[in-house]
Chain A
Amino acid sequence: MTKTWIIALAASVTLALAGCGGSAPGGTSGGAGAQTGPIKIGSLHPLSGSSAADGQQLENGAKLAVEAINAAGGVKSLGGAKLELTSGDTQGKPNIGQSEAQRLIQDGAVAIVGTYMSAVSANVASVAERNQVPFVMDITGDDAILSHGYKYSFRLQPPTMRIGAESARHLAELSEQQGKPVKKVAYLHEQSAYGTSAMTGFREEAERLGITVDPVISYDPVGVSDLTTQITQVKASGADVLAVTGYYRDGVLAAKAVGSVKPGLDAVYGVADGAFDLPQFPKDAGAAGEGFFDVNYRLDLNNPETKRLADTYKQRFGDEIRTGAVLAYDAVRTIATGLEKSGSRDPKKLRDVISSGSLPSMLVGKGPVKFDATGQNVNAIPVMMQVHDGAVQVVHPKEHAEPEARPDYPAAPGS
């Protein structure tokens, strides 16, 4: 009797959620017809749930961008119209993200930024496509979303596969330079599309360069509570370097396990890792995290404008800015610049201007934000970072490195 009730309840909750998600445009292309008043930009991030810390950073970044643009006089070509950020909480769930995207579009959003999580972005991208509203992704690890031929999806972060390949090249180069060339890399990654594509990109390039990638160990980031056995496996394999791709909590677990097992590596090397380059990682991992590398996209602290944004962020939210917040900031700027150039509130015209325009980026890159035919920003590049004395620094390539910062290699972890 009891069990029947519980099952019935669970089923009805699931059904209710699915009901919200089953959203068709139904001919109503939203309230985008509003020709006066503030211009709405939708922001979709995980504001609660296990990714809330990152989600709130991205949300704050988008907020700061809207405020900065409004303070500078709004969209001038539209009579100084102000921007308004309308936000939705995806809770990190694809179905919620989908229904929230639908809600924001019906509420009159001319474009959407988001969503930090690949599975959520995949759903939001299809909603945006159906409703013909531009969707500018700040962070989204899965490369497959842009392979569907969507016209309304754009992505600022570099492709995860490319970060993987770039990481392998940087590692080979650096280890060679320091006279300890890498022969064998063990790879530990979370098991979703993000971890797998980073690993694939890395392995293909590494093997081309004559480096063996073995063993490759994957884990479930949601349920994992200890990685000691996996690190022991790495130690037993005799690899020179451990490459890691994962999220924050599991990254700290990996660092702690490395500290305990002492696997005798030349380096622990993050590949688009979500932990090793965050400002609070050195504190949470303690001594175990010292010397960890990460190759990832990065906010450009050599750019005075980015530096100013980082200071504003700290003042306003009492927290160190993460790269994600800068990506969300750039995503909103991309949309605002598009509105300025198109001189129209029509999402379709906005899409055309975004796809052909360019914008000076606040990320480390080889040029302005500029999208190719699939909607990928072509100029974002990953850089190499390392934990030095409890702080994350950009150490390579030289033209983007922070002043005086040099990579330490080998950086035997757990010693």
Chain B
Amino acid sequence: MTAEARPVVPEPRWGGRSLTAARAAAVLIALIAAVTVAYATQGQPVVVTQAVITGILTGGVYGLVAMGLTLIFGVLDIVNFAHGAFLALAMFVTFGLVAALGVHPYAALAVSVPLLFALGWVLQYGLLNRAMGGPLQNQLLITLGISLLIENALLLFLGANPRSAPLPGDRALPVLGAVADTSRVLAFAAALALAGALWLILTRTRVGTAIRAVAADPRGAEHVGVDVRRIYALTFALGTACAGAAGTLVAPFATIEPTTGQLFTIVAFVVVVLGGMGNVPGALAGGLVIGLTEQLGGVFLPGQSPMLPVFVVFVLALFLRPQGLFGGNG
């Protein structure tokens, strides 16, 4: 396998951190400028406030969904087309538990996260590991197959009717004249917590060090005694467990259908590339940038697809920094 070395987090080489900080500052300044212009040119400040709040909250959700994807992409070099299907699976698990047992939707995390972790482990260990080192499109086709299998199994056994798993006591919290739903605020908070937890695992634990070693150079890692196949399975499982958490957290404000996951993954792929492949905090930052771009784009260009400003920003970012806004310097 001729994987280019893709650092999971920016390497702490001299100047690396301050450069990342400088880029983050530049992005922040650009966003603040856009918001200021919006306030100055739009007649109704409350609309802009709402756009910013909605942008931050949906951005957090995009980041949440993209985290697992970026981890898998960064370490295993697998473009995981099944991510949306994993998300949908977690949503249906959540719906099932809420409908059958009447539990609180968030209690479903106790089932969806371990379940998706186990599923990820089994798929990587039993299926994808055999394709590692082969041509990259093999892995891509396997994940595409898995996604078709999961989505159509959901369709076949559970039907296409939309379902919902509302959060008890979900209400609109007033924020500076605008509103934010409790369920979305909690999902945002969970996105921050999850990003923090993943970052700690990757940088502060032995297992995280092993994951980063495998990402940088699988053969080298093997030579120093890392069980590469186990690390592959573990990383894929961590990624799918993230999808499990995201699915349950998103379920209260999404319409649950076998295809719901796809809705988020289109954006998630953009977020992964924008944030730097394999960079977990970068995914969160990328998510926020995309969420805000989408909402502010709607304010500036009413009636256009939200994807238009998103892809303008995306193409611009790729042109200026092909390795992603927060990717490594290599």
Contact = CB atoms under 8 A, between A and B. Distances in A.
A249 B137 contact: no
Contact of B152 (A48, A235, A259, A262): A48
Contacts of B299: 229
A232 B257 contact: no
B61 interface: yes
Contacts, number: 117
Contacts of A248: 162, 255
Contact of A284 (B135, B171, B181, B255): B255
B186 interface: no
Contacts of A256: 181, 253
A236 interface: yes
A5 B137 contact: yes
B257 A53 contact: yes
A229 B295 contact: yes
A260 B47 contact: no
A232 B302 contact: no
Contacts of B160: 48, 52-53, 55-56
B178 interface: yes
A259 B170 CA distance: 11
Interface residues of A, number: 45
Contacts of A2: 77, 136
A252 B179 contact: no
A229 B162 contact: no
A55 B159 CA distance: 11
B26 interface: no
B140 A6 contact: yes
Nearest to B172: A260
A6 B179 contact: no
A280 B161 contact: yes
A2 B166 CA distance: 42
A261 interface: yes
A286 B181 CA distance: 15
B132 to A, nearest CB: 14
B266 interface: yes
Interface string B168-194: 000110000011010010000000000
A232 B202 CA distance: 41
B105 interface: no
Interface string A373-396: 000000000000000000000000
Interface in B61-87: 61, 77, 79
A409 B166 CA distance: 28
Given A52-B258, A191-B303, A9 B162 contact: no
Contacts of B151: 48
Given A52-B160, A236-B47, A256-B253, A223 B307 contact: yes
A119 to B, nearest CB: 16
A286 B47 CA distance: 25
Interface string A281-302: 0011010000000000000000
B255 A229 contact: no
A319 interface: yes
B263 A223 contact: yes
Interface in B193-231: none
B50 interface: yes
Specify which of B79, B151, B172, B184 lies most central, judged by the most chain A CB atoms within 10 Å of its CB.
B172
Nearest to B61: A225
Given A5-B136, A233-B44, A260-B181, A53 B253 contact: no
Interface residues of B, number: 51
B302 to A, nearest CB: 6
Contacts of A217: 302-303
Interface in B281-298: 295, 298
Interface in A210-259: 215-220, 222-226, 228-230, 232-233, 235-236, 248-249, 252-253, 256, 259
A228 B166 CA distance: 17
Interface string A30-73: 00000000000000000011101101100000000000000000
B178 A283 contact: no
Specify which of B50, B159, B263, B267 lies most central, judged by the most chain A CB atoms within 10 Å of its CB.
B50
A238 to B, nearest CB: 10
A110 B162 CA distance: 34
Interface in B257-276: 257-259, 262-264, 266-267
Contacts of B303: 191, 216-218
Contacts of B77: 2
B140 A220 contact: no
B164 A52 contact: no
A411 B207 CA distance: 58
Contact of B51 (A1, A219, A229, A261): A229
A9 B172 contact: no
A194 B292 CA distance: 28
B257 A50 contact: yes
A42 to B, nearest CB: 21
Given A191-B305, A248-B162, A236 B44 contact: yes
Contacts of B259: 49-50, 52
Contacts of B54: 226, 228-229
B22 interface: no
Contact of A225 (B164, B181, B264): B264
B40 interface: no
Given A225-B263, A256-B253, 16 more contacts: A1-B2, A9-B137, A48-B151, A48-B160, A50-B257, A53-B162, A191-B305, A215-B302, A226-B57, A226-B58, A228-B50, A228-B54, A229-B47, A260-B181, A261-B172, A262-B172
6 contacts: A5-B137, A9-B140, A52-B155, A56-B159, A236-B47, A260-B171
